[in-house]
Amino acid sequence: MGCALAMQGAWMGSLLLAEATVLCDELLRSSILDRYSSARGLISFWARRLDFDSPPGEPAGPSGLEGKGHISEASEAWEHLGFPVEAAITRAMVSDPDLDSVFTDLRRLGAEGVMRGLRRELERRGVKQIPRGERLTTRTNPARLTTREAEVLARIAAGLSNAAIAKELFISEKTASHHVSAVLAKLGVTSRLQAATVAIANGWSDRTASNLGN
């Protein structure tokens, strides 16, 4: 998870490329990913965005489909797995993409950093007429999180468990679990990893709860 998020941060321009390289090199040289095909696929996705070396072996799932040139199928597979950001980015890679639709979806997710990274990638590919649209601000909260939910999201992005979140916020673990479920529902995601990805894409992981919440 940390390696994939580091690569995403470098792609968006919020983390130095050298820092992402250091964070990922050791993992890519290890055998850990042999046991986690889904993690290999996600890391391969972001490695392709940065022209990094992908993990050894052929990635399964959406990243494998993209590597074989089945771009539309890869996007649909990401969407099915509950990764809307990766699905939108992949849709932008097809020939003659509907970029207005892609950027509309990313704007709906509030993924300003992802939009910047995608524009840079499209520019490198020589794509013309890249939508600009309205400028998002990282001070907005389009998911309408409460202050407490914002605090929980920041800790999800930091990799804390429900028990650790409960301890930090002086609430019960059951209450923390309820807040986590509410955050996932408001973000339209199904896992903590996806929530962390959205939080980092928005810059919410670096923000105080008072700025995030209503």
pLDDT of 214 above 50: no
What separation in angstroms does the CA of 95 have from each of 75, 92, 149?
Answer: 13, 8, 40
Buried b or exposed e, range 96-134, using 16+ CB within 10 angstroms: ebebeebbebbbebbbbbbbbbbbebbeeeeeeebeeee
Could you tell me the CATH number of the domain that includes residue 189?
A: 1.10.10.10
- The per-residue pLDDT for 137 is 37
Whether residue 62 contacts residue 74, with contact meaning beta carbons closer than 8 Å, is answered with yes
| Domain shared by 96 and 153, yes or no | no
| Domain shared by 107 and 158, yes or no | no
Question: Collapsing DSSP states into helix, strand and coil, what is residue 178?
Answer: helix
Let me know if residue 129 belongs to a domain. Answer: no
Q: Which residue has the tokens 């409460």?
A: 146
pLDDT-derived band at 168, boundaries 50, 70, 90 = very high
Per-residue pLDDT tens for 182-208? 898 888 888 898 888 888 777 776 544
Chain mean pLDDT for the chain: 80
- The per-residue pLDDT for 213 is 46
Amino acid letter at 176? A
Whether residue 80 contacts residue 107, with contact meaning beta carbons closer than 8 Å, is answered with no
- The per-residue pLDDT for 65 is 93
Whole-angstrom distance, CA of residue 36 vs CA of residue 186: 28
DSSP state of 190: S
Per-residue pLDDT tens for 72-125? 999 999 999 888 989 999 999 988 889 988 998 888 887 878 888 899 899 988
Let me know if residue 132 belongs to a domain. Answer: no
Q: Residue 66: exposed, middle, or buried by beta-carbon count in 10 A (0-12, 13-18, 19+)?
A: buried
Domain enclosing residue 182, as ranges = 147-212
Let me know if residue 138 belongs to a domain. Answer: no
Give me the number of domains the chain comprises. Answer: 2
Let me know if residue 135 belongs to a domain. Answer: no
Residues 6+ apart with CB under 8 A from 80: none
pLDDT-derived band at 33, boundaries 50, 70, 90 = low
User: DSSP states of 48-102 as a string?
Assistant: HHHTPPPPSSPPPHHHHHHHTT-HHHHHHHHHHHT-HHHHHHHHTTSSS--HHHH
Length of the chain: 214
Amino acid letter at 196? A
State the pTM of this model. 0.60
Q: What share of the chain is helix, strand, coil (3-state, %, to 5)?
A: 65, 0, 35
